Amino acid sequence: MSRTEVVARHLTEYLKRTNRFDKTIVFCVDQEHALDVRKALNNLNADLTKIHVHYVARVVSDEHAVGRGHLDDFQDPEKETPVILTTSQMLTTGVDAPTCRNIVLFKPISSMIDFKQIIGRGTRVSEEHNKFWFTIIDYVGATQLFYDSAFDGDPVRVTRTQIDNEGNETKIEDSEEGTLDEQDPMGFVDQFDFDDSVQKPLEAVSELSRKYYLDNVQVYIAGEQAFELDPEGNVLKTIQFTDYVSDNIRRLNLTAEHLRKTWPLAEQRAEILTQLRSRGIDPDHLAYVTHHEEADALDLLLHVAYNAPLVTRRERAEKLRQKKANFFNTFTPAAREILNSLLEKYADYGIGEFDQLPRVLQVSPFDRYGSTYEIYQLFGGAEKLLQAVDEMQKFLYE
């Protein structure tokens, strides 16, 4: 069962337990995703959609006046339907829905500003309609990433639920019942984790691949070219993108020796990435174009610019474990597990995982060790953990 179907099934059961006519907004990844979620919810609520045709509606820019009409009806407290709206960006700001009781997060959120704007769709109080609270149903872990007690105070109740690949709840932690770790602030009311059997965890996805269509048929990019322009915007020459990358690395005087020396240092690595991205070069995009998604970003840049051999991230991680066993043995067993898990994150997703502490420590598998503070204490404090991670990065690129 796809992740969309799992979430739709779980949300449907949630509304059945609470109130199937509580106004709900589901924030999806993009317009196509919003359509898929609408279809899934529509099918799972067939008993209601036979009577209320617009029980579930999609409100996105492609819907034009139809979507606007659904939104107007949703905002009107006197209109019973639509009850559930699926959207992507259109409803993040400027929408006043006084009776909206559920905000559902089903899209990766990359900034606190976006998070607050989305959550703001539910904060309106309506005494006339006995609406003094709302629920955030979080399927992507955003409340962990952007928890801010100064924003709207602490939640009245927090539950963390694990669901399987059929949408069934398999484990529930509840702050009201004292089963939730209170030192691990989760933001708001309901957050859901997924068993490993559920496809493609969104916590590992910062952005879905762009989709292309020609005559309503999805197509794929077979190759790319780069254009060099003069100051007036005229094309000087057309070159392969990899040649463009190679030329610009050399123009920036990023020699192989300099790259190898500075890449393990987070600040200098960030500076190099800024220089490259200002010229339209992103290692993730380069990996996609060259079909080397498993390669380490440094190795890929060296390969394209200087024909160096390619090494995968997992190969680097395994070599580190084998050659630097003494480094890991200086830590307690629990601290070693943390470092090994960080190394596994790197092998799966890249060096950027090290740059996102302490956010990464708030998600699986690190959350089983307690709060971020408790993880720091396993190393003797936050500073010593950061030192250990810095040292591990240097060993990784020796």
Q: Is residue 252 part of a domain?
A: yes
Give the end of a domain, one of 247, 279, 306: 306
Q: Could you tell me if 291 and 376 lie in one domain?
A: no
Q: How confident is the model at residue 22 (pLDDT cuts 50, 70, 90)?
A: very high
**Residues 248/276, Cβ–Cβ less than 8 Å:** yes
pTM of the model: 0.48
Q: Is residue 210 part of a domain?
A: no
Tell me the residue type at 75.
Answer: Q
Q: What is the domain range of residue 229?
A: 221-306
- Say whether the peptide bond before residue 82 is cis (omega within 30 degrees of 0): yes
Helices (H), the chain: 3-17, 31-44, 46-49, 64-75, 112-119, 142-145, 149-152, 241-251, 256-262, 266-277, 283-290, 297-306, 313-323, 325-329, 333-349, 372-378, 382-396
Q: How many CB atoms sit inside 10 A of residue 357's CB?
A: 17
List residues bridging with 226 in a β-sheet: 239
pLDDT higher at 191 or 47: 47
In the chain, % of residues over pLDDT 70 = 77
Q: Is residue 214 part of a domain?
A: no
Three-class SS of residue 160?
Answer: strand
Lowest mean pLDDT of 30-39, 183-192, 294-303, name the range.
Answer: 183-192
Q: Is residue 213 part of a domain?
A: no
Give the end of a domain, one of 287, 306, 325: 306
Q: Is residue 289 part of a domain?
A: yes
Interval 238-259: pLDDT, tens: 567 888 899 999 999 999 999 9
Predicted pLDDT of residue 32: 85
Predicted pLDDT of residue 361: 85
Q: Could you tell me if 93 and 166 lie in one domain?
A: yes
**Residues 197/161, Cβ–Cβ less than 8 Å:** no
- Which one, of 344, 342, 347, lies nearest residue 385 by Cα? 342
pLDDT at 293 over 60: yes
Lowest mean pLDDT of 112-116, 300-304, 382-386, name the range.
Answer: 112-116
pLDDT higher at 331 or 356: 331
Q: Is residue 323 part of a domain?
A: yes
Per-chain mean pLDDT for the chain: 80
Report d(CA 132, CA 6) in Å as an integer. 30
Q: Could you tell me if 278 and 389 lie in one domain?
A: no
Q: Could you tell me if 326 and 192 lie in one domain?
A: no
**Residues 193/364, Cβ–Cβ less than 8 Å:** yes
* Phi–psi pair at 311, nearest 5 degrees: -130, 135
Q: Is residue 45 part of a domain?
A: yes
Query: What's the CATH number where 83 sits?
Result: 3.40.50.300
Q: Could you tell me if 126 and 31 lie in one domain?
A: yes
pLDDT at 114 over 50: yes
Give the end of a domain, one of 281, 306, 331: 306
- Which one, of 150, 111, 154, lies nearest residue 136 by Cα? 154
Tell me the residue type at 171.
Answer: K
Three-class SS of residue 170?
Answer: strand
Q: Could you tell me if 255 and 354 lie in one domain?
A: no
Report d(CA 38, CA 49) in Å as an integer. 12
How many domains does the structure of the chain reveal? 3
Q: Could you tell me if 298 and 320 lie in one domain?
A: no
List residues bridging with 161 in a β-sheet: 172, 192
Three-class SS of residue 61?
Answer: helix
Report d(CA 257, CA 203) in Å as an integer. 35
Q: Could you tell me if 258 and 388 lie in one domain?
A: no
Report d(CA 7, CA 363) in Å as an integer. 19
Q: Could you tell me if 385 and 261 lie in one domain?
A: no
Longest dimension (CA), the chain: 70
In the chain, % of residues over pLDDT 90 = 35
Q: Over range 304-317, report the average pLDDT.
A: 91
pLDDT at 183 over 90: no
Report d(CA 284, CA 313) in Å as an integer. 13
Interval 344-390: pLDDT, tens: 989 888 888 888 887 788 777 887 888 889 999 999 999 999 999 99
Q: Over range 326-353, report the average pLDDT.
A: 91
Q: Over range 222-249, report the average pLDDT.
A: 67
Three-class SS of residue 2?
Answer: coil
Q: Could you tell me if 99 and 175 lie in one domain?
A: yes
Report d(CA 146, CA 114) in Å as an integer. 10
- Which one, of 41, 86, 80, lies nearest residue 63 by Cα? 86
How many Å separate Cα 134 from the centre of its chain? Answer: 23
Predicted pLDDT of residue 206: 36
Q: Over range 134-145, report the average pLDDT.
A: 80
Q: Could you tell me if 301 and 323 lie in one domain?
A: no
Q: Could you tell me if 186 and 47 lie in one domain?
A: yes
